[in-house]
Structure 1
Amino acid sequence: MISLAFGIYILLSAVILGMLYRQSPREWLLRMVVVTVFPVIGWLFPLFWPRRLFKDAGGKLDDYIAAQQKEMSVQHLGIYSKLETEKELNVLSIEEALLVSEHSTRRKVMIDVLKQDAINYLEILQTAVSNEDTETSHYAVSAIMEVKRKLTLSLQELSVQYENNKEDVHVLSAYADVLKGYLRSGFLDDRTLRKYKFIYLGVLERYTGIAENACEAFVDKVDLELELKRYAEAEETCRVFEQRYSHIEEVYLCYLKVYFTIKSAEKLQHTFSKLKKSPLKLSNHALTLVRFWSEGA
């Protein structure tokens, strides 16, 4: 008797859900699983509640989430790629996919990278070269060789343009971008790397001097000067940066980076005090860095 009643219940449930969700077999299957595993009670789950019951609360929740997403601007370490939703429900990092996924998934990830601008994934590609899957490794090597070819051609072309016109903002911007990519490519020996760092520094010097929107270039210039141990020049770049853009967080972050690197506790604390008195509302990323430097101080 119980089996018969359960069978009738399943049949009726299938018919009712089929009528309600005939346009979406996936929705039908999901709800059938629920009402089968939880007979009768399953129909009371929120999954079956009318959407209008959530209209007001849902709207407020959406507004809240949107506000939080706008407020929280966290920079993640590593590069992320969203796989097809029907195959994967979560956003997987490429690094993790190359380490723990099956060979077929690794190959798909590499193919997806190859379809995009591979220069943005150089660190990932360099890691993938030593992957145990030979096909994945082959994709990575091919991508790196193609990046190297493009960078070399662009570098040659732009270096000529730069020598012919060192005051053209567009040439300076393009040349700086190519040099930045070339320096982090891993293709250079130490001596050549140092040579191109000074070339890059010269380009940034000119670009920050004439470009109207050179905020990112100032940050790159400070980072490069610190790499080259040109600490006095890095501090001077911060001063010029502050004169040009006095009300952005990047100025304070550059100062803090310089003073933390040279271990100047007095100047570090002075910059912290200025930052606290400023009207700036720091991003989450900036707050993380400030806490780190504050603990270091």
Structure 2
Amino acid sequence: MINLLLGIYILLSAALLGVYYRHSPREWLLRMVVVTVFPVIGWLFPVFWPGRLYKDAGGKLDAYIASQQKEMSVQHLGIYSKMETQKELDVLSIEEALLVSEHNTRRKVMIDVLKQDAINYLEILQTAVSNEDTETSHYAVSAIMEVKRKLTLSLQELSVQYENNKSDEHVLRAYTEVLKGYLRSGFLDERTLRKYKFIYLGVLEQYTEISQNAREAFVDKVDMELELERYAEAEETCRVFEQKYPHVENVYLCYLKVYFTIKSAEKLQHTLLMIKKSPLKLSNHALTMVRFWSEGA
């Protein structure tokens, strides 16, 4: 049933994209890869946004994207739970369902996962592989293999497009998304994982240079440089980030992460002072982080 629905979705997507991009097979292929690797949610990726949105909307577009991402993150807290503004329902996490629920409930949870974008639940799926219920385990293995197949196919396609045109912002954005998913998939051995981390870092470098909407990419770049112990490069990325987006709170949060990692108490204190003096209206998340670091300091 799942395969049938997926097949119908792919056929409908191919037909719809074919109408809009019938004169450009390359554009059709790029978008087809995105909507196939990321069912449904792939349609929200920047590769589908009209170019004029970047020009006309400016900061409003960034705020809209952030709000959408926040909404999606709430939705993804658990497939077995739904957050409503009027009431709060009892939340039964997927992990708990797989551990303590009856077999029928476990299977239902896994089917719900399969209906979503399975790449967002890879860690749970990997845990479910060893579940005592063989049917639940089978669902998990099937989902993982499908994710791996899609990610591998997308990497192959996008790596070729990237090599052919490293200045295509849409290709760069799609490539970073696929690489990010591949790195957290758990499919790679240590040596291959390190190789793809550097590839990912290189693509992020290119993307942050040419894109006017690369705030999240800067954050990802700093995180990856810290993970690879490239501390000087991470600090330099923060400076470039600040130059490009001087009034964005994530700039300061990135500085805090870098200075905490390299154990530079003086620079960390200086950054906290700069945040407190800045006219920025901080989000609840940023305020929590500032309080935490201030107390820690």
- Give the structure 1 partner of residue 77 of structure 2: 79
Gaps of 5+ in 1: 1-69
Distance in structure 1 (CA, Å) of the matches to 2:232 and 2:220? 16
Distance, in Å, in 1 between the alignment partners of 2:102 and 2:286 is: 37
Give the SS at the match of 2:132.
coil
Checking the alignment, whether the CA contact within 8 Å between 2:81 and 2:93 is kept in structure 1 is: no
Q: More displaced, 141-150 or 287-296?
A: 287-296
Which residue is 1:149 aligned to?
149
CA distance in 2, matches of 1:201, 1:191: 16
Contact 1:81 / 1:91 at 8 angstroms: preserved in 2? Answer: no
> Do the aligned partners of residues 89 and 290 (structure 1) sit closer, same or farther apart at CA in structure 2, a change above 3 Å counting?
closer
2:212 aligned residue: 212
Could you tell me which residue of structure 1 aligns to residue 139 of structure 2? 139
Indicate the larger mover: 196-205 or 241-250: 241-250
Q: 1:238-288 deviations in whole A, cap 9, x for unaligned?
A: 001011111121111100000000000000000000001112232222233
Aligned residues: 223
Q: 1:99 to 1:286 in 2, by over 3 A?
A: farther
Quickly say closer, same or farther: Cα 1:130–1:286, change in 2 above 3 A: farther
Cα shift at 1:296:
3.8
- What SS does the corresponding residue of 2:90 show, helix, strand or coil? coil
Q: Aligned pair 1:179/2:179, yes or no?
A: yes
Determine which structure has more spread, i.e. the larger CA radius of gyration.
1
> 2:11 — aligned with what?
none
Deviations 1:120-155 (A, max 9, x none): 111111121122222111111110110000000000
* TM norm structure 2: 0.70
How far does residue 101 in structure 1 lie from its aligned partner after superposition?
1.9
* Match of residue 163 from structure 1: 163
Which stretches of structure 1, 4 residues or longer, exceed 6 Å deviation after superposition? 73-76
Give the whole-Å Cα distance in 1 for the aligned partners of 2:258 and 2:129. Answer: 35
Gaps of 5+ in 2: 1-66
For residues 272 and 230 of structure 2, the distance between their equivalents in structure 1, rounded to whole angstroms, comes to 23
Q: How does 1:282-293 map to 2 (within 5 A)?
A: 282-293=282-293
Q: How does 1:1-297 map to 2 (within 5 A)?
A: 79-82=77-80, 90-297=90-297
Q: More displaced, 252-261 or 240-249?
A: 240-249
CA deviation after TM superposition for structure 1 residue 82, in Å = 4.3
Counterpart of 1:46 in structure 2 is none
Going from structure 1 to structure 2, the CA distance change for 1:96 and 1:289 (only over 3 Å counts) comes to farther
1:99 deviation in Å?
2.0
Shift of 1:89: 5.0
